[in-house]
C-alpha cells in the first residue's frame, strides 16, 4: 500500500500466489457529498483486475449512481465502470 497526494497504490498477490496485481486508486471530490473513485490497473493480469473491480462494484452497488441509459447494460459493455 503506497499513498501519494490523492492517489493510492494497492499491490498484492492473487489467491494462489502466482501473480501480482497493482491497482491505482484515485478519489475526486465532485461536490461536498459526492465523490468519484477511479480504479486503474497499473500492473498484473487483466482478468484478475476485472474480477477485483467486479467484486468491488457489486459490494457498492446500492450506493453507486448510474445514469438511466446504463442500467440495462452489462458490466462488461460498460468497461470497468461500476
Average per-residue pLDDT for the chain: 76
pLDDT for 78 beyond 70: no
Q: What is the pTM of this model?
A: 0.64
User: What's the pLDDT tens digit per position in 57-70?
Assistant: 888 888 877 777 65
Within-domain flag for 14: yes
Domain count, the chain: 1
26 located within any domain: yes
Whether residue 41 is contained in a domain is answered as: yes
In terms of phi and psi (left: phi > 0; alpha: psi -120 to 50; beta: otherwise), the region of 79 is left
Domain-embedded: residue 58: yes
CB 51 within 8 A of CB 58: no
The residue range of the domain holding 9 is: 2-70
CATH code at 36?
A: 3.30.310.80
Scanning the chain, the segments in alpha helix (DSSP H) are: 46-59
Maximum average pLDDT range among 3-7, 16-20, 36-40, 76-80? 36-40
Amino acid at each position: 500500500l503506497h499513498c501519494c497526494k490523492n492517489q493510492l497504490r494497492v499491490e498484492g498477490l492473487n489467491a494462489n500466489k502466482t501473480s501480482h496485481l497493482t491497482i491505482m486508486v484515485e478519489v475526486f471530490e465532485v461536490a461536498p457529498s459526492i465523490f468519484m473513485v477511479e480504479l486503474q490497473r497499473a500492473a498484473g493480469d487483466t482478468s484478475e483486475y476485472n474480477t477485483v473491480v467486479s467484486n468491488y462494484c457489486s459490494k457498492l452497488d446500492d450506493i453507486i449512481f448510474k445514469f438511466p441509459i446504463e442500467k440495462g447494460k452489462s458490466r462488461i459493455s460498460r468497461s470497468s465502470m461500476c
